[in-house]
Structure 1
Amino acid sequence: MERPMIDPLKIDDILGAGGALSNYFTSYEERGDQIEMSKLVLEGYEKNMAEVIEAGTGIGKSFGYLVPAILHYKETGEKTVVATSTITLQKQLVDKDLPTLANALSLDIPYALVMGRANYLCLRRYYDNSVSASIFLNDIESSESKLLSWVRSTEEGVLDELESLPKGVLKSDIASDYELCLGSKCPYYNKCFFYKSRRKADGAGIIITNHHLLFLDAKKRDENDEDYSEKALLPPYNRLIIDECHNMDKNATSLFTKVLSYSSFLWEFRKLVGVKHGANANNLITLAAGHSKGTEEKAIEVIKELESCEKLFNHFNSTLVLSLNGSEQRVDRGNYALFLKKYQDSLIAIKHSLDLISATLNYIISKSAFSDEDAYIQQGITSSICTFEGFSSFILEFLNVKEFKDKVYYLVREKTRNREEVGLRISPLEVNDILRESIFDKLGTVICLSATLKVDREFDFFRHQVGLDDREILSGCYESPFDYRRNLLLLIDNGKVIYKNDQEEEYFEHATNKIVTAIKASGGGALVLFTSYKMLSYVSSRALSELDGMNILIQNGELSRSQLLNRFREDKDSVLFATQSFWEGVDIPGDSLRLLILTKLPYPQVNEPLFKSRCEKIDSEGQSSYMLLSVPSMIMKLKQGLGRLIRSKDDKGVAFILDGRINRNRDYILSQLPACNCPEDFIDESLERRIEDFLY
């Protein structure tokens, strides 16, 4: 017998005037679009549909999808997984939205935040670490004492709660690690934060997680040929809500990208051998050899081979660092023969060494017997063997490319804490087929939501990106209730100085002068967004002296993202210079943010290997990659950036786009943005007056 459908009027009983939330809050305004959106989400549950929804800032998107998820759980007992791109939204859902709904509805709503294992403190690793016995523990102001106090008081054990760690201690030193976990044999098992979170998730009706874990869970199910009725990294489920879904393509591509790098090898090397290594050292290899007779010599051999492999990796990395021009380089038909000529011998030598290490470690494990307490030794070495075999397979693939069609092969320069390195990567050209086959074709309900999805008033761009173009969907678009025409002044530079790659410094100098003028006019409260650290560094260093007396915050690695935002929020006249990660997920209502400056239109980098390959594929099919990929990508990012400014109905602010290239397609680009006050008669000379008149 089919269950009766949930009456959509129950949505009105919660979100409508006179409903549960209006009775709970002293001041509550019914939002008609929020109610309609919520009913659309409910329809997706009832009809087992996929949905794509754009809900502008101020709609109340999270309540809009949580209410039907709660109603469905109470009616059927079925779980809903809610995946977001940012930890900020995850914390908002868990710490604010879900508790508020539970109280307002007088319901017991079991919910859980599920994060990757490495986000949780491992009590055994902490108490085994020398920091737990530090001589500084008697000093209550010491970082060691503060860490111990947190360990004893934290309820969730999430390492991101820590603002700092004692010198010499890394989060990875005390984080939960699958390879070193004793499971139920651990003396701290009943207190384990990781297992507590998983037990809580098993009993939860609403599970909050991130895109990375969602895609990793789907990947594991696909590899093990398991459907969503079984438990994997996440519990069994059939209802999925993906918020901040405009980042799905980027996040999925990152997860399904394979990487070979010096640092990834060093991680395994140090885990197996330790910092102080040698035949008599207390490390996983010698510990394993100690569990059987006759493997001591093999242990010495494999440690020597690991040291030899480390030197091979180091030399290979140093060669790449010196030879790579720029930050990224694609390996394609045009340069593949040269790549093989330069690096094939080094890669073959590394592969041979990795294969020898794996074989020797397998021999040691096969001859050893481990007790339950020592199972982590076998588990850790077995995991390293799998990693080394993965490295070996990666090299084999990179050295035997037959066609450059569905995958992209490239080099990426990165700066780690102690060195500069170049890693090899293999990415899928597109992830739409992967997401379609692993998620959309297997789940009943999938709701995709974001404040910025439409391009040319359609969802086609997003649907193709994520593999939803072949599935029947329901869709809805709900515009922000904020009065942008009255509260948002959009100023666009006249374009006399246009950004060109070969004339960067001229544009940077032009931008610096305009930025300083605009900030002085607003009196601070300014967020300046860049698309590159190079321009950020140039402009901020020159603007400092011009903005003497103002609190200038710069995203340069000295402060964390949350620390920068907190300081910016607390000082309403401060200025924050920031780049990519601040184009979204920044929510600062009020006077602390009244001027937003976008220094360049956020077009993708034309020489970025993955983007370049996708463009070539589109162009080879006789279509325009500029109109089908470059412009839509820029517009979605631009809408995200502009969305930082007006966060409440009372907010008022100025957005200043410095990139004069917008004038080439001004009418088209403006048609994609919220309708706002954008004067056509604006000239540079009136910048200061325009800002002052509008704000004050």
Structure 2
Amino acid sequence: MKNDQIYAVVDIETTGTDPQTDRIIQFGCVLVKNGEIINRFATDVNPNKMIPKQIQNLTKITNARVQRAPYFEDIAPTLSNLLADTVFVAHNIYFDYQFLNHELLRCGMPKLTIPGIDTVELAQIFLPKEPSFRLMDLANRFGLTHENPHQADSDAEVTAMLLLYIESVMRSLPLVTMEQIARLASHMGMQTGTFIKKVTQEMRQLTTPLPEELMVVSGIALKRKTVPFFSYNLYEKNFPLKKRGKEKLFGDKLVFYKEQARLMNLVYRHFAPEVAPASDTPDKKPTQKDLLIEAATGMGKTIGYLLPLAYLATPEQPLVVSTASLLLQDQLLTQDVPKVNAVLPQPLVGTVIKGQRHYLDLARFQAKLTTAPQQKQYQLYQMATLVWLTQTTTGDFDELNLVSLKHPFFQDVCHRGLASLEKDSPFYAHDFLRFLSKRMKASNLLIVNHAFLARESLRKEPFLPQSRYLIIDEAHHLATSCEQAERQCVATGAFRKSMHQVTAEKGLFEQVAALFESQPQFLSHLGIYAQELQGLVENQEILLTALLEETTTSEEIVITQEQMMSLPLEAQKAKSKILLYYEEAAWLSRELRKASQNAELTMTTTEELLVTDFQEYLASVNEQGLMMKNWLTDWRQELVHFLVPDKNRLTGECQLLDLAAPLLPRTKWYPRYEKILYVGGTLKVSGNQHYISRRLGIPEAPLKVVPAPFDYGTQTQLLVPAEGPLINEQSPEEYDAYLIRTIEGLIRSVSRPILILFTAHDVLQKVYSALHKQFLVEGREILAQGMGGSREKLLRRFSRSKDSVLLGADSFWEGVDLPGEQLEVLVVTRLPFENPKRPLVAARNRYLEEQGLNPFSQVALPQAALRLRQAYGRLVRSPQDRGVMIVLDRRLVTSYYGHRLTKAFPKKVKAQECSIKQLEEKLSWLKKATDSEKNE
């Protein structure tokens, strides 16, 4: 801000969000000129109506406080004069600017016509790696003083500081980056783009050298990348198996725990067969390939396996660690590896590996800078990516926390694999996937997720190296990931949408046709191919109409051979045409690919990428054709054919599920690892030590259990309300009413964070709808899955609260790390059994019965016990934690199988029945335990 322009940074607080009925209760403004705050103005406003309780709780502005404040009519002229000839700035300007204008017009004043800048959009572009763009979160992140959040004077002050900070970030960027951003900024809100162009123009007047860590490649500024150097330490190669050696190694950096030490020894002896047998040697046979180790969550199991393997793994024989999620991958590298490296004589050099579509393709990104659609969100992502490229060395989209990878921008610019790269491209030497390959070769620790590992079986060439060392962390998830990777599917709705996109005016086919306009044979084949696609879509819809004729469910529908054979004649013909069209499309695809590859054309990079996209589309249709052929014709006993209907359209996912075992031995990656260790907090179920290993297809693998370092009997309680109804004897409406009534009472009796777990999303939503408004009025927030953000965002808000309630299902049953007082009360609304009436579950159960197995005892019961134990594991993550688990399903203590479920809990933890009143008394134990610890 190098001129005399004054920026009026404004924030208002209101009684609600509707300017027709709501009113302003506070106005705050900070004036900025030449990069400095020059003045401030703030006032409460009497809204002449009651302020809702939730607004009072949020803003701390009470009805009594505003009684003596001026009405907006009194201050409207002052505000109009104050803002005249300024540039209006706000965090989410659309709300403040429009609400203020409505109030000015109501008072007979002219509306604002001054230019405006939105700091939310500026933050989204110039702070692309931030996990949140809420004003409070940005203030905390950058150390901006924010004494009274949700009060206009404080919010305006911190917004002014944020504006100045973002401007400093803009001026620190290379001019070439700002030039590109300024060119894309025309679609931004109000005059935000004008502000960017103004700063860029001022930067042109200065000659600033490019920082050493940056370089410019074909007009794009990139951060320089260096491959880590792995240096071999010839000394202290032997891992210390004895306590004294470990304590010497740990020093004051790590604390010695005997349970963690035993885990370390088990891990080391499994992977280093030359070590002499000991009492806890996993198996006397040194050739044992698979070993399962159950180690309690919170005992430091990640460090427990990383540290001993650091003495064995090399870049030639790297340790490959597979964990359950992308989030856990990043946590392992950024949190656990540094702790281990703090004591190692030779540090682990780790690399996180994800699927290729998680990485940016620089050539594609550059091509889209000039050919992309003129759409605001698309261009916001482009501008943010230009900034991010000056910061990233990985090109991993997950560094951009608040993005949707399903957005067309990321679909357009994501990587298609090393084979898709052009060696003569200026970006070839700087490609992120090539750099990932280089880093992998210099690393002795490679971190993947289960989905990536499972998909190794689908790749023509394996991406991961062969090695002696593989660790499967959170191993109970592996079977599901492998099954999902093997599951074949065609989404007919997505197929129809893509067909319309590629054949539309100015679509992919029209662009390719223009490129090959001199080849009539190519154009002829392309025209026929488009007709084949249209025929496929039409006949798929005819077939689905017949299959879904009497369906009202949105769940999957199992399709039998008898059903397929008894379809009406029109549907039978459609089925035959589908097979024929896919066969003809495959022949045309070969001809088109051959012609596009052999064409002697001089093409630009953009045109080459266009041809690559075209060939990829042809290949994807061929893959779908093979799957549909299997789905329509392969009726082996172990295959389940099912449809997942689309709620809104007559479309569905045609899927095949193979129930045959064994699971791991039929994968391509399993034989490539000499030794495999499976680690998890819950690997044995109800005394069944082989449930996980049998499901994985390795029934002979031994299981070792490392005792937990916690006293579960004194640290936790497991409670069941004595007067709760039997779920089996209640209607869904009665059950919902019971849940709402009971949960409301629990929330009122506990002024602590509460996590409530559901087995069905519709029940969760009913409870949320019934309770969240009344508790919000009372100043207590109820968060719910599917309402208000991602899982990580909800957990972050929950962990920062003193008394929030979080309603969750699915993934919230596990992987929730909330130590100490962040989670002391856990409620399970229903035993987590799969619905046996669900078609896919019923089909699997029929198959198991045909194999002579009992589906309930062999699958349903162990799975429910596993989920209960995983949920319970959220409560205790350290020796200091205390927690209560309340199960609102009395089948835990009344059913014939309840004792098998309670065996999932630690031995000292017994289910206690108690009345609701006694339940409240039991919960007071938490406060007494906490107070007692604080007084020690």
Same fold (TM over 0.5): yes
Seen in structure 2, the aligned counterparts of structure 1 residues 528 and 689 have a Cα distance that, compared at 3 Å, is same
Question: For the Cα contact (< 8 Å) 1:218–1:438, is it kept in 2?
Answer: yes
Mapped to 2, the partners of 1:136 and 1:395 lie a distance apart of 36
**RMSD of aligned C-alpha atoms?**
3.4
C-alpha change, 1:199 and 1:319, in structure 2 (3 Å) is farther
How many angstroms does 1:624 deviate by? Answer: 2.5
Q: Is the 2:299–2:878 Cα contact (8 Å) retained in structure 1? A: no
Between 123-132 and 211-220, report the one with greater CA deviation.
123-132
* Residue 346 of structure 1: how far off its partner (Å): 3.0
2:361 match: 122
Distance 1:296 1:311 in 2: 23
- Going from structure 1 to structure 2, the CA distance change for 1:446 and 1:119 (only over 3 Å counts) comes to same
> 708, 717, 734: which is aligned to 1:489?
717
Which segment drifts farther, 501-510 or 655-664? 501-510
Summarize deviations over 1:142-190 as a string: whole Å, max 9, x none. 6664443223322322212223359975432332124993243433222
Residue pairs, 1:337-486, within 5 angstroms: 337-338=565-566, 343-368=571-596, 369-370=598-599, 376-377=609-610, 379-403=612-636, 405-414=637-646, 421-435=651-665, 438-469=668-699, 471=700, 473-486=701-714
CA distance in 2, matches of 1:546, 1:323: 41
The residue type paired with residue 613 of structure 1 is A
Residue 35 of structure 1 is matched in structure 2 by: 261
Distance change (3 Å), C-alpha of 1:125 and 1:624: same
Query: AA paired with 2:586?
Result: S
Cα offset, 1:430, TM superposition = 3.6
Counterpart pick for 2:869 among 630, 639, 644 = 639
> 1:358, CA displacement in angstroms?
2.8
Residues 200-231 of structure 1 show CA distances to partners (whole Å, capped at 9, x for unaligned) of: 112221110011111111344xxx6xxxxxx6
Segments of structure 1 that go 5 or more residues without pairing to the other structure are 1-5, 225-230
Distance 1:614 1:145 in 2: 49
The structure with higher relative contact order (CA 8 Å, sep 6+) is 1
Question: Which among 20, 31, 54 is matched to residue 249 of structure 2?
Answer: 20
> What SS does structure 2 have at the residue aligned with 1:465?
helix
**Aligned mates of 1:133, 1:364 — CA distance in 2:** 26
Secondary structure of the structure 2 residue equivalent to 1:547: helix
Q: 1:148 aligned to 358, 382, 386, which one? A: 386
Which residue matches 2:443? 204
Give 1:530's aligned residue.
758
Say if 2:713 and 2:909, in contact at 8 Å, map to a contact too.
Answer: yes
Kept after mapping to 1: 8 A contact 2:294/2:680: yes
1:361 CA displacement: 3.0
Matches within 5 A, 1:157-556: 157-165=395-403, 169-178=408-417, 181-220=420-459, 232-266=462-496, 269=499, 272-273=502-503, 276-277=506-507, 281-282=510-511, 285-286=512-513, 289-290=516-517, 292=519, 294-313=521-540, 323-326=550-553, 327-332=555-560, 335-338=563-566, 343-368=571-596, 369-370=598-599, 376-377=609-610, 379-403=612-636, 405-414=637-646, 421-435=651-665, 438-469=668-699, 471=700, 473-494=701-722, 496-500=724-728, 503-548=731-776, 549-556=779-786
2:423 partner SS: helix
Inter-partner Cα distance in structure 2 for 1:343 and 1:667: 51
Shift of residue 295, structure 1, vs aligned partner: 2.1
- C-alpha separation between the residues in 2 aligned to 1:41 and 1:8? 16
1:489, distance to aligned residue in structure 2 (A)? 1.8
| Higher mean C-alpha displacement, 30-39 vs 167-176 | 167-176
Deviations 1:54-111 (CA, angstroms, capped at 9, x unpaired): 111222111111122211125x941121111122321121112112222321424222
Secondary structure, in 3 states, of the residue corresponding to 2:798? helix
> What is aligned with 2:904?
672
Q: CA deviation at 1:525?
A: 0.5
Q: What residue identity is the alignment partner of 2:251?
A: S
Secondary structure at the counterpart of residue 104 of structure 1 = coil
Name the CA shift for 1:299/1:106 in 2 (closer, same or farther; >3 Å): same
The 3-state SS of whatever aligns with 2:678 is strand
Secondary structure at the aligned position of 2:360 is classed as coil
Is contact 2:532-2:581 (8 Å) kept? Answer: yes
Q: 2:313 matched to which residue of 1? A: 73
Deviation at residue 510 of structure 1 after TM alignment: 0.6
Q: Secondary structure at the residue paired with 2:820?
A: coil
Aligned with 1:129: secondary structure?
Answer: helix
Q: d(CA) in 1 for partners of 2:338 and 2:422?
A: 31
Secondary structure at the aligned position of 1:234 is classed as coil
1:341-370 per-position Cα deviation (integer Å, ceiling 9, x unaligned): 684433333333333333223222323335
Change in Cα spacing, 1:153 to 1:491, as seen in structure 2 (3 Å) is same
1:651-666, aligned counterparts within 5 Å?
Answer: 651-663=881-893, 664=895, 665-666=897-898
Structure 1 residue corresponding to 2:303, chosen from 63, 77, 98: 63
Structure 2 unaligned runs (5+)? Answer: 1-234, 274-285, 929-936
Cα distance change of structure 1 residues 621 and 366 upon mapping to structure 2, 3 Å threshold = closer
Q: How far apart are the structure 2 equivalents of 1:287 and 1:464?
A: 56
| Number of residue equivalences | 668
Following superposition, the deviation at residue 265 of structure 1 comes to 2.0
1:531, distance to aligned residue in structure 2 (A): 1.1
Query: Separation in 1 of the partners of 2:494 and 2:359?
Result: 21
Report the counterpart of residue 149 of structure 2 in structure 1: none
Mean Cα displacement is larger for which, 428-437 or 104-113?
A: 428-437
Higher alpha-carbon deviation: 649-658 or 259-268: 259-268
Q: Is the 8 A contact 2:467 2:672 kept in 1?
A: no
Cα distance, 1:634 vs. partner?
0.8
Can you list the C-alpha shifts for 1:11-59, whole angstroms capped at 9, x where unaligned? 447996523223324xx2x111212222112222123531011111222
Equivalents in 2 of 1:501, 1:164: separation in Å?
45
Give 1:136 deviation, angstroms: 10
Counterpart check, 1:113 vs 2:339: no
Pairwise mapping of residues 64-103 of structure 1 onto structure 2 (< 5 A)?
64-73=304-313, 77-103=316-342
Distance change >3 Å, CA 165–CA 402, structure 1 → 2: closer
Q: Give secondary structure in 1 for the equivalent of 2:831.
A: coil
Which has the higher Rg, Structure 1 or Structure 2? Answer: 2
In structure 2, the CA distance between the partners of 1:433 and 1:564, relative to structure 1 (3 Å rule), is closer
Give, in angstroms, the shift of residue 253 of structure 1. Answer: 0.6
Letter in 1 for 2:874: R
* 1:227 corresponds to: none
Give 2:810's match in structure 1, choosing from 566, 574, 580: 580
Separation in 2, partners of 1:130, 1:317 = 40
Question: 1:681 and 1:551 mapped to 2: Cα distance?
Answer: 29
| CA drift at 1:320 | 5.6
The 3 A distance-change label for structure 1 pair 202 and 484 is: same
The residue type equivalent to 1:194 in the other structure is L
| Deviation of the 1:671 alpha carbon | 2.2
- Alpha-carbon distance between aligned partners in 2 of 1:19 and 1:321, rounded to the nearest angstrom: 68
Residue 135 of structure 1 and its aligned partner are, at CA, apart by 9.2
Alignment partner, residue 932 of structure 2: none
For residue 272 of structure 1, report the CA deviation from its aligned partner.
Answer: 4.5
Equivalent residues of 2:466, 2:673 under 8 A apart: no
State the secondary structure of the residue aligned to 1:576. strand
Q: Give the partner amino acid of 2:770.
A: R
Q: Distance in 2 between matches of 1:414 and 1:244?
A: 32
Task: State which drifts further: 366-375 or 58-67.
Answer: 366-375
Using the alignment, how far apart are the partners of 1:313 and 1:192 within structure 2?
40
The residue type paired with residue 295 of structure 1 is F
Q: Secondary structure at the match of 1:367?
A: helix
- How far apart are the structure 1 equivalents of 2:238 and 2:441? 30
Q: CA deviation at 1:338?
A: 3.9
Structure 1 residues 292 and 101, CA, compared in 2 at 3 Å: closer, same or farther? farther
Q: Give the Cα–Cα distance (whole angstroms) in 1 for the partners of residues 843 and 731 of structure 2.
A: 26
Q: What is the distance in 1 between the residues matched to 2:556 and 2:746?
A: 34
